[in-house]
Amino acid sequence: MTTEHIATQRFREFLRIDTSHPKPDYAKCAVFLEKYAQELGLSFQTIECVKGKPAHVLTWVGSNPSITAIMLNCHTDVVPVSRDKWTHDPFAADKAENGDIFARGSQDMKCVGIQYMEALRRMKASGTKPQRTLHVMFTPEEEVAGIDGMKLLVHSEEFKKLNIGFALDEGLANPEDHYKLFYGERAPWWLTLTARGKAGHGSQLMEPTATVRLVRTLNKFLAFRESESRRLKIGKKPDGSSFLLGDVTSTNVTILKGGVQHNVVPEEASAGVDIRIAPNVNLEAFKKQLEDWCREDEIEIEYVSTFWDNTTTATDDSNKWWTALKGVADKRNVKLDLEIFPAATDSRFIREIGIPAFGISPMRNTPILLHDHDEFLNEKIFLEGVDFYTDLIPVLADVKA
Ligand SMILES: [Zn+2]
């Protein structure tokens, strides 16, 4: 009988801890990670910005701790499962004969956390002496918008002391034979638009009514949606390549409310709008544009949630971290598909405070199954990821100050 690869063993152990919302088992996760840190000879620190929602920092102090450190981030929480839609127990981490490992979090993103750790195990075994300090970070609450997680963490005193100069975080699987590399994200904005007008009998033609005002205003948002949608379908970037979803601004009316019965004109009507603003759009100018659209019909705008940074991390030789990463990918013969992340990850909070960050989950030839039923990752692909970080991390750790 052959014993299972140590990396796969740890991966499956991690997957068996049910950290799904709404009640992630962060306590069990902490026990696992502390033991894992001891096993690899890493120091272990817990930062709790919100009680019961811990972030863990597993540190290998570099030979030159005065220069900035590398952050290797993995969120510990996962999204809930619909058990009846799964063909495997989502927290058993069953391994099929072909090596497919089924579990919630197998792609998003427990694989990556273990890959960092197993790369460090190999670096220790081979006597590597990294110059920069390495912090493997296991952070909570990413799947619920990072509000009690990274959003607070990056502003904590403990985080500042980590002296981070560059971060790696999650990406997505790629069905092609490449890795996806995310260098930016769109800024998510959620608005509630409320219109008010004359109320009365449904037979009358009063002006203005709340519903007329709301629809007239929403039509302006939808015209903008249409133009961005066209740009996505037929537009071309300056280099001739096609736009991807992350390159354009998306707008969706996600909530509509108003009225009580058919023959009563309501005095109030409202809509919820989800907007994801493309990188490098001037956010102040964008806000002014929205307010102009709303002014004519005296629509009240409630900014339910906004994000004020949509800068990107450079992917050219001006960025020494990019040069290092690209060099390793070239050496390993892996092409990188550069993209803007279409949704949101914790990377946005890292970039917001000025730390360059790339999102990458080294899974090629793999269907994108994050948040889906029967999420799985093949063991061979998983182990290739350990090889990738074993090559990459020492190079990042020795990038010149
Ligand atoms: Zn994730």
pLDDT in tens, 207-259: 999 999 999 999 999 999 999 999 999 989 888 889 999 999 999 999 999 99
- Cα of 24 vs centre of ligand 1, distance in Å, is 14
User: Which residues are near ligand 1, the ion (C-beta closer than 5 Å)?
Assistant: 108-109, 170
* Region at 200 (left for phi over 0; alpha for psi -120 to 50; beta for the rest): left
CATH number at residue 273: 3.30.70.360
- Cα of 139 vs centre of ligand 1, distance in Å, is 11
User: Among residues 305, 320, 355, which one ends one of the domains?
Assistant: 305
pLDDT score, position 1? 59
140 and 270, same domain (yes or no): no
391 and 349, same domain (yes or no): yes
102 and 207, same domain (yes or no): no
CA distance 194 to 177: 48
For the stretch 352-368, pLDDT in tens is 999 999 999 999 999 99
- To the question of whether residue 56 is assigned a binding role by annotation, the answer is no
Residue 322 CB partners (closer than 8 Å, separation 6+): 313, 314, 315, 316, 358
Q: Over 80: is that where the pLDDT of 2 sits?
A: no
User: Among residues 243, 277, 305, which one ends one of the domains?
Assistant: 305
Q: Over 80: is that where the pLDDT of 95 sits?
A: yes
346 and 262, same domain (yes or no): no
CA distance 127 to 117: 15
Q: Assess if residue 163 is contained within a domain.
A: yes
Q: Are 268 and 196 in contact (CB under 8 A)?
A: yes
Residue ranges making up the domain that contains 369: 6-185+310-397
181 and 322, same domain (yes or no): yes
Name the CA radius of gyration of the chain, rounded: 24
pLDDT score, position 237? 86
- Mean pLDDT, to the nearest integer, of 121-147? 97
Q: Assess if residue 1 is contained within a domain.
A: no
- Mean pLDDT, to the nearest integer, of 313-318? 96
- To the question of whether residue 170 is assigned a binding role by annotation, the answer is yes
175 and 220, same domain (yes or no): no
Indicate the number of domains in the chain.
2
Could you give the percent of the chain with pLDDT greater than 70?
A: 100
- Mean pLDDT, to the nearest integer, of 157-165? 98
299 and 320, same domain (yes or no): no
